[in-house]
Structure 1
Amino acid sequence: MTTTLLPFDMAQLLNSDEAISEYLTQVLADGDTDELIRAVGYVAKARGMGQIANATGLGRASLYKAFAAGAKPRFETVIKVMHSLGIDLQATTQGNRP
């Protein structure tokens, strides 16, 4: 008997603001820069890469490339995409962590 594996698409799980917030919070807490880039890409894909491209003025194909595994997008690009997604970053001191 053979087992067929279906492709996993993280973007399909990011179907609410709460799921997106929790996911990005966890990725930020882990501190892996490459994973953060991929995570922002997954969120952008979940919300619609075409819509994000229109909102940021960046090309759709360029966005896919910028957030692919191993990519090193400019910080300006990451912030532009996050703002178009309605996501803000906040800084807290370690003493304020729950």
Structure 2
Amino acid sequence: MTIVTKPFDTAEYLRNEEDIAAYLEAAFEDGDPALVTHALGVIARAQGMSKLARDTGLGRQNLYVALSEGGNPTLANFMAITKALGLAVRVEPIPRDAAE
């Protein structure tokens, strides 16, 4: 008997704002900017890159490049993308004992 597998695609499981927020928060917790960029790319695919381009006013091709592996979105693009996705980015202090 042959087992057929398919690649896991996180985008298929990002069904609502809570899923999306939890996924992006986990990427932030890791602390790797490349992972955050990757997570934004996955979220963009889940929501539809064309729709996101319209909602942000950014070119679709620019989004693909900025959110690709090795991409480096500007802070302005990051803010536009998160806003278009209905996400708010919050900043909170790190407890002193955890920062050392």
TM exceeding 0.5: yes
Give the RMSD, CA atoms, in angstroms. 1.4
Structure 2: gaps spanning 5 or more residues: 96-100
Distance 2:32 2:3 in 1: 33
How much has 1:38 moved relative to structure 2? 0.8
CA distance in 1, matches of 2:75, 2:34: 12
In structure 2, distance between residues paired with 1:61 and 1:4: 33
Select between 28-37 and 86-95 the one with higher mean Cα deviation.
86-95
**TM-score w.r.t. structure 1 length?**
0.86
Query: Which residue of the partner structure matches residue 17 of structure 2?
Result: 17
Gaps in structure 1 of 5+ consecutive residues: none
Which TM-score applies when normalising by structure 2? Answer: 0.85
The number of aligned residues is 95
Deviations 1:10-39 (A, max 9, x none): 211111111111111111111010000111
Tell me which stretches of 4 or more aligned residues in structure 1 moved more than 2 Å: 1-5
